[in-house]
Structure 1
Amino acid sequence: MARSSLTREQVLDTAAALVRRNGPQALTMRALAAELGTAVTSIYWHVGNRESLLDALVESTVQEMGTLRPAGRTPAARIVSVARGLRRQLRARPHLIAMVHERGLTERMFLPAQQALVHEVHAAGLRGARAAAAVRAVQFQTVGFLLVERNRERSPVQSPGEGELWTASAADDDPALARALARPTDPDRLFEDSVRALVEGLLTGPPQQGARRRTGTQERETAE
């Protein structure tokens, strides 16, 4: 591929694919040139040196993470859709996300998802500290779930496994519970169920203790 027919977008897309497959250490200018079928000098012409290329990949990843679009008829459904989309995007590019984190841009990367959540919790009637707590709870649930999920995927084969450990006696004499816990986990369903339960509690639960104290203070001031 001649330099004149190569674009910066093609270089970045191919570099991102290499990182997704094999990690940042596999991204060399020679490997990228071979993948593109061009000369190394052509890569330099389009994106500069390797550090400049990595910076461009990080910026591209941050921008891609800002493309989440809520879906659903209710605020609760749209909040769940944001969490679902965030998990999907994070799972699709773990090495790139790690690069974003190493460059201190994690908070900026999460800002669009947080803003989408803010819009939906406002639509559900939450304001102030309660709205902030809801946004953070959904973000932490999503990222925390993903970290546990990735750890389980990478862990060695367990012996004994869950199927051997969960007996009726281990489950407090609840054989149905023991059978359920002995079965392999369906992470997609577990994620949906856990996020939905969290969101329902956040949107319908009582105000936080601090909010109740402030309300009581305001009522006393009004009475006086």
Structure 2
Amino acid sequence: MTRDEVLEAAAALVKRHGPGALTMRRLAAELGTAVTSIYWHVGNRESLLDALVERTVEEMGAIRPSGRTPASRIVSVARGLRRELLDRPHLIAMVHERGLTERMFLPAQRALVHEVHAAGLRGARAAEAVRAVQFQAVGHVLVERNRERAPVQRPGEEELWDELTAEHDPALARALARPADPERLFVNSVKALVDGLLTRADGAVSDGPYPQ
């Protein structure tokens, strides 16, 4: 057993059940080893939590842009950021509690800086674009998480939207009555945001709408 294996198992426990479920005894049981062996590799529980936070910060730095244009690469960073945040909410919360949120976001921000520079933005306009994309990703994740945790709604959207509510736009009523597709909604909103931010720079667009 290695230190990395201990941290991997601990991270998996926190992802599934939250930090409160992470005890040295439970972690040892997951790994099929003695508690003393866990202490040998990572120290006490507080040291283990610190190591998990550092590991999470490092993993968040692995987001890499992809695409043919600066606009499409910016969208790819936003998608990667959203995906990483959704994948590890409890670990992200631990990072935040230890005051390391800004450090955690720095690699993604630097990737965005590179792309907005490539698109022709500089100075305050470039900074605003970087923050706008970051806030869009983080805000979207918060809304998604809140919707997931919300109690069942009665009446629900499918009951609330009809032709009258939708101002005699039946197609709109049908669309709003269906569950939202978070990924599609996120990508389309980020593309619209990026297109608006970069239009004055070089007229670039982010490869059109999200595919149907």
* TM-score, structure 2 normalization: 0.93
Is 1:107 aligned to residue 102 of structure 2? yes
Q: Residue 62 of structure 1 corresponds to which residue in structure 2?
A: 57
AA partner of residue 122 (structure 1): H
How many Å separate the matches in 1 of 2:27 and 2:175? 47
Q: Residue 186 of structure 1 corresponds to which residue in structure 2?
A: 181
Per-residue CA shift, 1:37-94, capped at 9, x if unaligned? 1110111111100000000000000000000110000000000000000011111100
How many Å separate the matches in 2 of 1:141 and 1:172? 29
How many Å separate the matches in 2 of 1:18 and 1:177? 42
Unmatched 5+ stretches in structure 2: 202-212
Is 1:28 aligned to residue 23 of structure 2? yes
Q: Residue 132 of structure 1 corresponds to which residue in structure 2?
A: 127
**What's the CA shift for 1:195?**
0.5
How many Å separate the matches in 2 of 1:201 and 1:182? 29
**What's the CA shift for 1:175?**
1.4
Q: Residue 146 of structure 1 corresponds to which residue in structure 2?
A: 141
Q: Residue 220 of structure 1 corresponds to which residue in structure 2?
A: none
Unmatched 5+ stretches in structure 1: 1-5, 207-224
SS of residue paired to 1:169: coil
* TM-score, structure 1 normalization: 0.88
**What's the CA shift for 1:205?**
4.2
- How many residues of Structure 1 are paired with residues of Structure 2 in the alignment? 201
Q: Residue 79 of structure 1 corresponds to which residue in structure 2?
A: 74
Per-residue CA shift, 1:91-137, capped at 9, x if unaligned? 11000000000000000000000000000000000000000000000
SS of residue paired to 2:188: helix
Q: Residue 40 of structure 1 corresponds to which residue in structure 2?
A: 35
Equivalent pairs: percent with the same residue?
A: 80
Q: Residue 88 of structure 2 corresponds to which residue in structure 1?
A: 93
Please give the root-mean-square deviation of Cα atoms over the aligned residues, in Å: 0.9
Rg: which structure is higher? Answer: 1
Query: Structure 1 residue runs of 4+, over 6 Å off?
Result: none
AA partner of residue 155 (structure 2): P
How many Å separate the matches in 2 of 1:205 and 1:104? 36
